[in-house]
Chains A and B, each alone.
Chain A
Amino acid sequence: MTMMKTLMGAAAGLAVSATGALADPAIIFDLGGKFDRSFNEAAYNGAQLWADETGGSYREIELQSDAQREQAMRRMAEAGANPIVMAGFSQATPLSVVAPDYPDTTFVIIDGVVDAPNVRSVVFSEHEGSYLVGMLAAMASETGTVSFVGGQDIPLISRFACGYAQGAAAVNPDITVISNMTGTTGAAWNDPVRGGELTRGQIAQGSDVVFAAAGGTGLGVLQVAADEGILSIGVDSNQNYLHPGSVLTSMLKRVDVAVHDAFTTGPEVETGVHVFGLAEEGVGFALDEFNAELITEDMIAAVNTARAAIIAGEISVHNFTEDGTCPVQLQ
């Protein structure tokens, strides 16, 4: 079977290189897995949307371990895939090594910045989207305490936490924001048991709205929030449907749009750094039939006002990754 696959893969590779210009795009998913209901799944949805629209096909690899990153990129590039989208900040370092070796291939990295002429770096203003859901959390909270569960303890996730805390503090200056990280290694993206335990601890400390920015770990957070009857906020993909009536909203990060754009434009996609913020609709919050009863007109109005103010530059949301500090105290 494996042999067969290898042979067919090789044959497909030959076919692609023979036709040249008709190279298929490719996508490499990060460790959380394609169906993490969150970041990677958003990337997958974007790729799938492109495939449905154009009838084209794309190549994909789901990484199983950190050691595979460079090898996976090289394999895709050797097979003639172009452009190659890499989902996840962890891919930045190996990409900076690989990209110069394949100058004719266009790489797209999401959530990371690689300075090379053939790389398009897509970053999102997570702090702005988190600010909006932080406002919603503070408006929905009855206890005056809201909380945050992050995945791996990295600056990118602190950016979520800090934006969330700023939004909550904008609504209620006296609010307490509890923040916990699941772990310090990649395994923290896939540990729903620990995520659930952290959430229980936060509920015990008074939190009644929890925001999970933790990939697969977040599923455990949302589960416990639903079991305990508090509100939760999903991340990256729209997760409102997971526990209708318990998920207050989801902080959308339009990874799907970024992937779809890259696939649609093809190898000629513009390289350099591209920031997807509120103005570009790269981040936002989800509103659908599953959370319609949880969010009032007033809440929507307040958030939309803030959204317009951020786009106009009247409110400036501090970005944690710029200086490693947060203006709002996190517990």
Chain B
Amino acid sequence: MDFLTILQILDSTVRLATPLLLACLAGLYSERAGIFDIGLEGKILAAAFFSAAVAFASGSVWVGMLAGIAASMALAALHGVASITFRGNQLISGVAINFLAAGLTVVIAQTWFQQGGRTPQLAGDARFENIVLPGAATRIRDIAQQGPLGQLYSELISGHSIIVYVAFAIVPLTWWVLYRTRFGLRLRAVGENPAAVDTAGISVVGLRFAAVLIAGVLCGIAGAYLATALNAGFVKDMSAGRGFIALAALIFAKWRPWYALSACLLFGFFDAVGNRYQNIQLGEIIVPVQFMQALPYILVVIVLAGLVGKAIPPRAGGEPYVKER
């Protein structure tokens, strides 16, 4: 295995980890405020569809992304109304959102485009182009001609869509918001002890809605990335369980931003390895492709079975806040 191959796997890791990272941070905001969010998957899917559909209709990927974020925020608001205002069960509301998104996207896509639940292929300005940093080569064959540093720069650092860079920038931003701002302190407090926050005269409902809507925005970006950057259009069920893997990554990360980054990169890495090495020969034994492609999911099981040590969720998570009994 040469240096360039390692770089290519890492490059693929970054691409595949980006939607996970955005979804994981979305879950982080929501759950830190005490609202469990099983509906990440559904929000990503809805955003993927609406961003692709509107990008196709308008010809602008940015308008598409705004539409995707709006769709995701609408579902987030629904989750908020059900679980904050009406104090419903947060898990059930999340599951409902997943079903709603899985069904609605296909039905609407079929009605609008008559292409069997997919949007037409996007091209040109309707897609996020990869950003080529100054002096970087773009094509894999040109990159192979460069020296190690040039390869590192061209292959790994340059040549991603803008959303990838934004997603990585959101990690320190999230850390700063959560640990260095008044809003972040209150957000964390409302997930641990909402009664204390309420006593201090701060609106629990308002804070929780803010957190849920931030989650909506981040899921919206994740969906837009899937449909308009990684892919060129929406296909049925294209989120393919990424929302659930993001939830596992969130637990792995113990609800912390920097750990979330490393957890998502790890999941992305296993996905990339599974794609690149379909059958690995270890001496006499051939590791089959089925095993390699199941790696991220096997990792989820191992992680959730408690390998990570004690992961303590926010104390008030999952419980609706009732002011007076």
Contact = CB atoms under 8 A, between A and B. Distances in A.
B97 to A, nearest CB: 20
A190 B275 contact: no
B170 interface: no
A308 B290 CA distance: 40
A193 interface: yes
A198 B293 CA distance: 12
B116 A201 contact: no
Nearest to A197: B275
A191 B116 contact: no
A187 B239 CA distance: 12
Contacts of A62: 116
B260 to A, nearest CB: 22
A4 interface: no
B140 A228 contact: yes
Interface stretch (B4-12, B24-32, B55-63, B207-215): B4-12
B289 A184 contact: yes
Contacts of A193: 226, 230-231, 238, 240
A35 B236 CA distance: 12
A294 to B, nearest CB: 18
B236 A190 contact: yes
Contacts of B15: 197
Interface in B100-135: 106, 114-118, 121
Given A193-B226, A198-B275, A200-B12, A34 B289 contact: no
Nearest to B110: A62
Given A33-B115, A35-B118, A228-B139, A201 B276 contact: yes
A70 interface: no
A140 to B, nearest CB: 15
A216 B290 contact: no
Contacts of B4: 204
B235 A192 contact: yes
A183 interface: yes
A64 B236 CA distance: 10
A203 B141 contact: yes
Given A183-B293, A192-B231, A220-B231, A200 B238 contact: no
A242 B121 CA distance: 9
Interface in A198-242: 198, 200-201, 203-204, 208, 216, 219-220, 223, 228-229, 242
A270 interface: no
Nearest to B16: A197
A154 B230 CA distance: 27
Interface in A149-164: 153
B22 interface: no
A325 B226 CA distance: 38
A194 interface: yes
A180 B16 CA distance: 19
Contacts, number: 75
B289 A33 contact: no
B240 A191 contact: yes
B272 interface: yes
A251 interface: no
B290 A204 contact: no
B278 interface: yes
A144 to B, nearest CB: 13
Contacts of B16: 197
A36 to B, nearest CB: 7
A283 interface: no
Contacts of A34: 115-116
Nearest to A37: B121
A303 interface: no
Contacts of A196: 230-231
A33 B237 CA distance: 13
Nearest to B4: A204
Given A201-B275, A204-B140, A35 B115 contact: yes
A191 B271 CA distance: 14
A194 B117 contact: no
B189 interface: no
B232 interface: yes
A181 interface: yes
B5 A204 contact: yes
A192 B119 CA distance: 13
A64 to B, nearest CB: 8
A266 B153 CA distance: 62
Given A190-B236, A191-B240, A194-B275, A201 B118 contact: no
B126 to A, nearest CB: 13
26 contacts: A29-B116, A33-B116, A33-B118, A34-B116, A35-B114, A35-B116, A35-B118, A64-B106, A187-B237, A190-B236, A190-B237, A191-B240, A192-B235, A193-B230, A193-B231, A194-B275, A196-B230, A197-B15, A197-B272, A197-B275, A198-B275, A201-B8, A203-B140, A219-B121, A229-B139, A242-B121
Interface of A: 29, 33-36, 40, 62, 64, 153, 180-181, 183-184, 187, 190-194, 196-198, 200-201, 203-204, 208, 216, 219-220, 223, 228-229, 242
Interface of B: 4-5, 8, 12, 15-16, 106, 114-118, 121, 139-141, 226, 230-233, 235-238, 240, 272, 275-276, 278, 289-290, 293
Given A191-B240, A204-B4, A204-B5, 13 more contacts: A34-B115, A35-B116, A181-B278, A181-B289, A184-B293, A193-B231, A193-B238, A196-B231, A200-B12, A201-B8, A208-B141, A216-B118, A229-B139
Q: Which 5 A-B pairs have the closest CB atoms?
A: A33-B116, A35-B115, A197-B275, A34-B116, A203-B140
